[in-house]
Structure 1
Amino acid sequence: MKLVIGDKNYSSWSMRPWVLLKHFGIPFEEVMIELLQPDTKASILQYSASGKVPCLIGGDGVPVWDSLAIAETLAERFPQHAMWPRDATARARARCVSAEMHSSFGDLRSQMSMNIRASWPGRGATPGALADVARIDTLWRDCLAASGGPFLFGEFGIADAMYAPVVMRFNTYQPEISAVAQVYVARVNAHPAVAQWVEEAHRETHRIPSYDV
């Protein structure tokens, strides 16, 4: 399989399936395309008609774009791995939590974009972004209380991968969050796949000035 991604420092959507594949030890070839370059869209279009990353190319050559669609596809193709919880009730909740991350939190995305190398405490703290932070904090606390941890639904899975870029944002902007959420942030940061992504983001040489201002 091939996974087409953007810069690790900036591409939150790319981070999700990459971390998932790494965690479950599923072999894949990484194709990294630098974002906001003159040839970026043309390079992505070689793999995905959407012109966006990420995109998974399976052994059958069929492209699957969109991070949540990729996660669902991986769960189908590798049922031996509990990417979704095995329990039906927990699985339904995990899907809801993941879909909410996928479709919501627009203020957080726009005001606190992912930039792993940056440190901007307090920046982007608009009422809308802080409302998104509060909702995410509540989601995390509810999931952890129900599952008992250590991750949102017990073991690391799709829901945790979906929220890993949020953890990166919290690292950068440091909004006020609950003690329970702080522990979860630390746990995700310490996860080997997440730590590898962060390490590689710091080693990248490509910079996007408009994202770094």
Structure 2
Amino acid sequence: MPLLVIGNKNYSSWSLRPWLLLRHFGVAFDELRLALDTPEFHEAIGRWSPTRTVPVLHDDGLVVADSLAICEYANERWLDGRGWPADLRVRAKARAAAAEMHSGFIALRTQLPMNCRRRPDGYRWDAAAQADIDRVQQLWRELRDEFAAEGDFLCGGFGIVDAMFAPVAMRFLGYGVAMDDNARRYVDALAALPALREWRAAADAEPERIEATDRLAQA
């Protein structure tokens, strides 16, 4: 059985992405959780990940690091292509959006780190992070305007592009980001997924705390 090595469910946005995809599509896998920012993590991670980062997938002797690479591998290995839209043009747009998420939005990631337990408390961010937030909502709006008739997610049915944006949805909820109606509907659709509800429940139950992130949440 494949093994997915992840970080804390409360904090590890990159781990959420392939975990959510695999769980949503019913792919059976074992899970190894390593608590981030601990001596135990730094001692163990080198045995599992060539990049010393999570997530990393082990499958029959193959080691795949990086969230998007794991999603792509899973799509070919177990999903029979269902992770991307069937139509070539729609698939291209979904891939472009996923790639933009994978490589961009640095201010958003830095100033609004994922913290699934967090609740809005008045914390605010700077103009660079707000520009990222605005761009995310613009991108969601463009995709949903075109594909809303096909389903509740960015390009219709749930897929890799939605897995890539799921941690952003968690940030928007936790930090009280103002959302337009389209973004709110999309975030609600993600939050209603049984797999994401399972992840969030596990995050709530984790005992570990990363002080810098939790202190930010209380600022």
TM-score, with length taken from structure 2: 0.94
| 2:183 equivalent in structure 1 | 181
Q: How far is 1:118 from its partner?
A: 1.3
Q: How far is 1:147 from its partner?
A: 1.1
CA distance in 1, matches of 2:186, 2:79: 26
Structure 2: gaps spanning 5 or more residues? none
Tell me whether 65-74 or 40-49 shows the greater mean CA deviation. Answer: 40-49
Task: Please tell me whether the aligned partners of residues 188 and 194 of structure 1 are also in contact (alpha carbons under 8 angstroms).
Answer: yes
Could you tell me the percent identity over the aligned residues?
44
CA distance in 1, matches of 2:81, 2:204: 30
Alignment of 1:8-27 (within 5 A): 8-27=9-28
| 2:201 equivalent in structure 1 | 199
| Per-residue CA distance 1:72-94 (angstroms, 9 max, x = gap) | 11111124351011100011111
Change (3 A) 1:173 1:73: same
| Per-residue CA distance 1:54-101 (angstroms, 9 max, x = gap) | 000012x11100001101111111243510111000111111000000
| 2:4 equivalent in structure 1 | 3
Change (3 A) 1:183 1:210: same
TM-score, with length taken from structure 1: 0.96
| 1:160 equivalent in structure 2 | 162
| 2:93 equivalent in structure 1 | 93
| Per-residue CA distance 1:173-198 (angstroms, 9 max, x = gap) | 11212111011111111111111100
Alignment-mate amino acid for residue 208 of structure 1: I
Task: Please tell me whether the aligned partners of residues 82 and 157 of structure 1 are also in contact (alpha carbons under 8 angstroms).
Answer: yes
SS at match of 2:155: coil
CA distance in 2, matches of 1:91, 1:188: 20
Task: Please tell me whether the aligned partners of residues 25 and 79 of structure 2 are also in contact (alpha carbons under 8 angstroms).
Answer: no
CA distance in 1, matches of 2:185, 2:41: 37
Task: Please tell me whether the aligned partners of residues 111 and 125 of structure 1 are also in contact (alpha carbons under 8 angstroms).
Answer: yes
| 2:210 equivalent in structure 1 | 208
Alignment of 1:16-165 (within 5 A): 16-59=17-60, 61-148=61-148, 149-165=151-167
CA distance in 2, matches of 1:135, 1:208: 28
Task: Please tell me whether the aligned partners of residues 112 and 124 of structure 1 are also in contact (alpha carbons under 8 angstroms).
Answer: no
Task: Please tell me whether the aligned partners of residues 101 and 162 of structure 1 are also in contact (alpha carbons under 8 angstroms).
Answer: yes
Change (3 A) 1:140 1:70: same
CA distance in 1, matches of 2:121, 2:183: 17
Structure 1: gaps spanning 5 or more residues? none
Task: Please tell me whether the aligned partners of residues 125 and 175 of structure 1 are also in contact (alpha carbons under 8 angstroms).
Answer: no
CA distance in 1, matches of 2:205, 2:195: 16
Change (3 A) 1:121 1:140: farther
SS at match of 1:40: helix
Q: How large is the Cα RMSD of the aligned pairs? A: 1.1
- Paired residue total: 212
